[in-house]
Amino acid sequence: MFVKKVILVLFLLIIPISAVSVNKEDELNKAIWSRRWYDTCIKQNHDGNWVSTSPGSAEMVLNKSGVFVKYYKQDGFGGILDEKGGMQILAAPNFEDNLSIPESLASYPVTGIISLWGAVTSKIIQIPKSVVQIDSWALKNPYLYRIVVHPDNPVYAEIDGVLFDKTTRTLVCYPKNKSADPYVVPEGITRIGDYSFYQASNLYALTIPDTVISIGDFAYCDCLRLQRVNLSNKLESIGQFSFSGIRFIAKALDDTKIELPDGMVFLGDYAFYNTYIDIISLPNTLRHIGTNPFASCRGLKQINVKKDHPTLVVSNNTLYDTANRRLVYYIDDGDLVNKEIRKGTLHIDSDNFIYSSIQHIVLPEGMLSIGDNVFKNVFSLETLDIPNGFCSVGKNSITGCSDLKTLYVPDSLTSIGEGSFFYNEELTLIVERDSAMHRYAEINHIPYSFKNGIDWLD
């Protein structure tokens, strides 16, 4: 299940040259952006990033290709060379007020910023004209309230202290600690970049003009004071976790109804996770809907989909993607006791039926899999029918179901996620001898018995 307070942590792991003998694959696995969503739902590699706790102390670093390269240091800054001979900044000194990025480091031109590790309390950051590449996470200093860009920079510009990419008309970074005035994205901007407003602590009202067609991943994630958002009527795409963790997001103040605009085609994974919404309407143009975009939206009472929508349908409080034959989201109104999943459904998206009040669930014939955290802490669940041919259970699913006493698991189930079938106090699994479920139950000390207890006589 998702951790309700989202924490995003950057590590910058720099490997001293004395560590060349270590397993490079293991070190590269450590070189990730570690993001905790739910119980560490997402851990994804972030191309081009190096990670370390003390970059200023290393002379060699391990890059994304697993190759050790020289680490340059000068005046508190540190960086590495890219393939074109440009310096990529990894670390910076911590000036309380004004941090000015140099145009050169160790006689090499500074062309990119991967990270400003060490510059924790800087309030103003100045970008020189030489910098033409900035990582989406590099400027996420919690004290930052203004970004200044050299007027001759060919790629970047700033308007009112906010960073933009002129070449793509993208809003790149809204400083976390910018003042609490309502913010209006300038007309002509077409894209809101990944992480651009992430944890903007003072932002409470936002207007997105109709020129904007795309909102990136995690764009407004954890903007906890954001109460009003006027969406672009020309919006085509909303990325994963874009509006997650927001108390209110609506097209009118004090209104928690959202109508996504006609023309929108893409809605990313967990786009509105843990956001306060009453009603949401999905347009007929929506062709891609990611994994459970409404997970943990406890107040969601209604999803509106037109009857002639080509791929989406709402049936019995449940949103289905018929094109991919999956259950996307189930609205638990607290009254339903028996739940039969729509025939033809092959998969249930992650984070469905958590804390549901359902007592009896029937999975249809032909269903193949369920995602992570499905049927988790369904304390009232008494029966669950799993069909033959069912083959995969995600992490932490069918767990914490205190009233579930017996459950037959067919031998077709061969993929079992970590933590599944745990903490069911009264449960005894009915398994086939020598099946994957038999071995899993034995290893994890889950009570079980065999479907045919005297099969050894055959």
pLDDT tens, 199-230? 998 998 899 999 999 999 999 999 988 888 88
Instruction: Please say if the pLDDT value at position 9 is more than 90.
Output: no
Burial class (CB in 10 A: 0-12, 13-18, 19+), 388: exposed
Q: Is residue 89 part of a domain?
A: no
Please state, in angstroms and rounded to a whole number, the distance separating the CA atoms of residues 370 and 357: 19
Closest CA relative to residue 346, chosen from 362, 364, 368, 329: 368
Handedness of CA 259, 261, 265, 271 (dihedral sign): negative
Q: Is residue 369 part of a domain?
A: yes
Contact between 330 and 353 (Cβ < 8 Å)? yes
The percentage of residues in the chain with a pLDDT greater than 70, rounded to a whole number, is 83
How much is the average pLDDT of 126-138? 94
Please state, in angstroms and rounded to a whole number, the distance separating the CA atoms of residues 218 and 325: 27
Whole-number pLDDT of residue 24: 26
Contact between 412 and 369 (Cβ < 8 Å)? no
Q: What is the pLDDT of residues 399-412, one digit of tens each?
A: 999 999 999 999 99
Whole-number pLDDT of residue 454: 55
151 Cβ contact partners less than 8 Å away, ≥ 6 residues apart = 129
Q: Is residue 348 part of a domain?
A: yes
Closest CA relative to residue 436, chosen from 411, 419, 408, 399: 411
How many domains are contained in the chain? 1
Q: Is residue 20 part of a domain?
A: no
Q: Is residue 166 part of a domain?
A: no
Q: Give the tokens for residue 182.
A: 């309502």
Q: Is residue 436 part of a domain?
A: yes
Q: Is residue 404 part of a domain?
A: yes
Whole-number pLDDT of residue 458: 53
How many other CB atoms sit within 10 Å of the CB of residue 394? 23
Contact between 77 and 93 (Cβ < 8 Å)? yes
The DSSP letter of residue 55 is: G
Please state, in angstroms and rounded to a whole number, the distance separating the CA atoms of residues 33 and 30: 9
Q: Quick one: residue 11, left, alpha or beta (phi over 0 = left, psi -120 to 50 = alpha)? A: beta
CATH number of 366's domain: 3.80.10.10
Q: Is residue 291 part of a domain?
A: no
pLDDT band of residue 136 (cuts 50, 70, 90) is: confident
pLDDT band of residue 453 (cuts 50, 70, 90) is: low
How much is the average pLDDT of 330-346? 89
How much is the average pLDDT of 236-258? 75
Look at the pTM and tell me if it is higher than 0.85. no
pLDDT band of residue 161 (cuts 50, 70, 90) is: very high
Whole-number pLDDT of residue 36: 26
Burial class (CB in 10 A: 0-12, 13-18, 19+), 10: middle
Residue 444 lies in domain: 311-458
Whole-number pLDDT of residue 94: 85
The percentage of residues in the chain with a pLDDT greater than 90, rounded to a whole number, is 68
Q: Which residue has the tokens 């990119």?
A: 112
Specify the pairing of strand 98-100 against strand 104-105.
unpaired
Instruction: Please say if the pLDDT value at position 306 is more than 90.
Output: yes
Q: Give the tokens for residue 279.
A: 């009603």
Q: 30 or 332: which carries more pLDDT confidence?
A: 332
Whole-number pLDDT of residue 14: 31
- Range scoring the smallest mean pLDDT among 23-27, 99-103, 158-162: 23-27
Whole-number pLDDT of residue 53: 36
